[in-house]
Structure formats: structure tokens, C-alpha cells
A = this chain, B = another copy of it.
Amino acid sequence: MLPTVDVFRGAIVESRHRVSVAVVDAGGALKARAGDPDLVTFWRSAAKFFQAIPLLTDGAAEALGITDAELGVACASHNGEPRHLALAARLLARASCGTDDLACGPHPSLAEPVARTMAERGEQPTRLHNNCSGKHAGMLALARHRGWPTAGYADLGHPVQTRCIAEVARWTGVPEGAIGLGVDGCGVGCFALPLRAMALAYARLGARRLGGVEAEAREAAADRLVRAVTAEPFLIAGTGRLCTEILAASGGRVVAKVGAEGVYSAALVGLGLGVAVKVEDGDFLSAGPALLAVLDQVAPGCVPVADEWRTPTVKNTRGMTVGRMEAHVPLRASE
């Protein structure tokens, strides 16, 4: 059966989203899959943990006094809620920078109720509201600590971006030269990789086990980031967002991170497994149900979130329920 998320209107499938999945252990073995586990696509915001690790390994966090909560927001695609904004602003201040130094552009909150409330109050989103503002503040802190220019920190070729690419290479096992590069929605570099490599990086992140030379500081960094987001699941996303719900409901046993264009990655911490999901067409709404369908097979009962996350209802402009989404993503054991 084709792995898909089907969108029903009444009893009829109106649209269909194809899904590919890789489930990998920390040793790099492909344990299960659906669709094409070697599909190459951009990791987008699901790479944020690995873009934050240099803050710790390179000493910026210690030197600048960066807190766990600030690290949590550096890994987040946050809602721009007051606590997110305050933490991102504090991280910016540690870099001796302000909102104008952020390269990311403003956009409405990823959580519709938050965006609506702001619009009703006539509040305009700023660069600090960008869901990536914590990542950007972290990059500025890294530049400040390393003595690199803060101007142009977002550009491919700037040492901050080069440093991030090196970190992504280390965790994914893909050589730097083989990582496809693009410009992300927020202006920094983003990384095209096979799903299998994304899943490996998350398996290693959850297991805090990288191995190889000079792995210790990196493993300690992974440990601190995972503990930071687990201690306060709100940080990584916010109110009404699946990443936050999964962390909270699983009690930290699953660390999941969404990316734009239908990407999701997750670490199954106790099991030492990593998961990478891509909705072929990039649909944002179907990535969550697809991930949950995978988690329910790999670790049944591990993520007790509300049914609405698994089978979202489709409503119309009158607020009537006119359909639903259903994920059918049967995993196959890998040969």
C-alpha cells in the first residue's frame, strides 16, 4: 500500500499526500521505512538542534552565560509568544545585538490563534516574532564569541554557516561537499540530505552517542539541548503545537522537530532510534499525522496526544466539519 495522508471530504478522498520515511538506529542501520528512505530533500528547521550545538562545543554558551531556556529557544520554531520573545531577546543581548541585527524577516505566528490575537490587537510581527529568531540570536552569539563579524552572519560563506554545515556533516555522516545547500525561509543556509541521514542524526542526538574522534563535547552538547527542551516543552514550539505536545505527552521519550515543506524528524530517546519523514508535496498539515502514524508503529502508546493530532478534522468557512485527514503509513522492515 502506498504510504499517504488522505484528505477526505465526506466519504470521498479529495486529495492525497505521499509520504516517505526512514527509521534508523544510532549505528546507522535502516530499521524500517516507507516510500523512499533515500529521498533527498531539505532538512529545514528540523536541523536546528545541530545548528545550536556549536554554541556549546565552541564555548559561547559558557562564555556568554547562555541559559538552558535560551538554548531551548535557539532550537525552536517558536510561536512568537511572550516567553519565546523574551528568551530570544535575552539571547540577542548576550551577543550584544538587537532586533535590527536579526537577518530573518517578520511573519505571523505559526499558531493561528496567536496570529489572530495579534492581528485583532493591531500588533505587527517583528523579526523577533520570526519562528527562527532564537536560532538567529544563537548564530549571532556564536559569531560574537568566535570573533567573527556579526554582519552577514546569515550568508552562505560566512564562518557561522560554514561551522553549521560542518556540524550537520558530523551528525548525519554526509560529507560536507555532498550536502546540498539552499537558502532557508529565514535567510540562513539549509541542507539537502537523504531522509536516512536525517534519521541517523536524530538517533545519535537521542542516544547522545556520536562516536568517532572528538565526540565527547558534541555528545555533552546534545545531552544539554535535549534536557533543555524536555525540561520545558513549550520552548520548542508553543501553545497548540505538535512538537510541544509530543515532548510533553511522551515525558521526553520522543523529541520531535518539524520543518517547513512537510519535514519532520524525531528521536526515540530510550530506543536509540531516529525517524525522518517527508511529505513529498511539502504539505505542512499532513506531516504531523504522518509522523504520529510512524511513532505509533515504532513505539506503540509512547505519544498519548489527542486524536485530533492523528486524524485532524477539516472545517469550512462556516466552521462545519466537512472532512478529515487520515494517515496510512505502513512501515516495512528493511531488508
Task: Report the Cα distance A70→B122, complex, angstroms.
Answer: 35
A320 to B104, CA, bound (A): 11
Contact B17 A184 (CB under 8 A): no
Partner of A16, one of B15, B16, B186, B281: B281
Nearest CB on B from A168, distance (A): 15
Check if A214 is an interface residue, CB within 8 A of chain B: no
Scoring A residues 279 to 298 as 1 if CB is less than 8 Å from chain B, else 0, what string do you get?
A: 11111000000000000000
Instruction: Convert A119-133 into 0s and 1s, putting 1 for each residue whose CB lies closer than 8 angstroms to a CB of B.
Output: 100100000001000
- Chain B residue nearest to A122 (CB atoms) is B122
Binds B, one of A56-64, A79-87, A175-183: A175-183
Chain B residue, CB-CB nearest to A124: B120
Residues of B within 8 A of A17 (CB): 281
Q: Is there an interface contact between A183 and B16, defined as CB atoms closer than 8 Å?
A: no
A262 contacts the other chain (Cβ, under 8 Å)? yes
Q: In angstroms, how far is the closest chain B Cβ from the Cβ of A279?
A: 8
Given A14-B41, A317-B105, A319-B105 in contact, is the A282-B186 Cβ separation under 8 Å? no
The smallest beta-carbon distance between A32 and chain B, in angstroms, is 23
Please state if A15 and B187 are interface contacts (CB–CB under 8 Å). Answer: no
Interface segment among A5-13, A140-148, A197-205, A223-231: the answer is A5-13
- A192 contacts across to B, CB distance below 8 A: 9, 12, 14
Q: How many positions in chain A have a CB within 8 Å of any CB in the partner chain? A: 45
Indicate if A40 sits at the interface (CB-CB under 8 A).
yes
Given A104-B317, A105-B316: A183 and B15 interface contact (C-beta under 8 Å): no
Which among A18, A183, A262, A322 has the greatest number of chain B C-beta atoms within 10 A?
A183
Number of copies: 2
CB distance A316 to B181 under 8 Å?
Answer: no
Report A60-115 residues with CB < 8 Å from chain B CB: 103-107
Nearest neighbor of A17 in chain B, beta-carbon distance = B281
User: Is A316 a contact of B15 with CB atoms below 8 Å?
Assistant: no
B residues near A280, Cβ cutoff 8 Å: 15-16, 18, 281
Q: Does A153 contact B (CB under 8 A)?
A: no
Q: How far apart sit A140 and B186, CA to CA, in the bound complex (Å)?
A: 47
Evaluate contact between B15 and A262: CB separation under 8 angstroms: yes
Q: A190 an interface residue at 8 Å Cβ cutoff?
A: yes
Q: List 17 A-B contacts (CB under 8 A).
A: A9-B42, A9-B190, A10-B182, A12-B182, A14-B41, A14-B42, A14-B192, A14-B261, A15-B41, A15-B261, A15-B262, A15-B279, A104-B317, A105-B316, A105-B319, A107-B317, A184-B322
Residues of A within 8 A of B (CB): 7, 9-12, 14-18, 40-42, 103-107, 119, 122, 130, 180-187, 190, 192, 261-262, 279-283, 316-320, 322-323
Given A12-B40, A14-B41, A14-B192, output 10 extra A-B contacts at Cβ < 8 Å. A7-B261, A10-B182, A11-B180, A12-B42, A12-B182, A12-B192, A15-B41, A16-B280, A18-B281, A183-B316
